[in-house]
Copies of this chain bind each other. A is one copy, B any other.
């Protein structure tokens, strides 16, 4: 590689769509921030594979997670509108978590990321 790289022109529209304070970068960054926690994907994918989980089930099923991080991530995901908390008000306590419509709508995008990873598996 000793030859200068051709700088193909790209329409300014494309640039504005990608960059800037409210462009693609900001949108994607925001989503990545909401799913960026250490255990958020394991939680989301479980709620996708099986619609309702109790915290104790997740705690047992997700290997290595602590109760503190489970609760914290569930709170975050709920605040970001990806999952919903259902309290049955029973004694002993009974709580279940499910994906929201937004949470379900996110999964195809994550599958696109997964498919990319599969295509370029090392």
Instruction: Spell out A's residues near B (CB within 8 Å).
Output: 1-2, 4-8, 10, 14-15, 18-19, 23-25, 27-32, 35-36, 41-42, 45-46, 48-52, 81, 86-89, 96, 98, 102, 105-106, 108-122
Contacts and interface: CB of A to CB of B under 8 A. Distances in A.
Contact of A45 (B19, B45, B86): B19
Contact of A4 (B14, B30, B88, B115): B88
Tell me how many chains of this kind the complex includes.
2
**Would you call the interface of chain A mostly helix, strand, loop, or mixed?**
helix
A48 B118 CA distance: 21
21 contacts: A2-B88, A4-B88, A5-B96, A6-B51, A7-B52, A8-B50, A15-B49, A18-B46, A18-B48, A18-B49, A24-B110, A27-B113, A31-B114, A31-B116, A32-B32, A32-B35, A81-B122, A105-B119, A109-B109, A109-B113, A109-B116
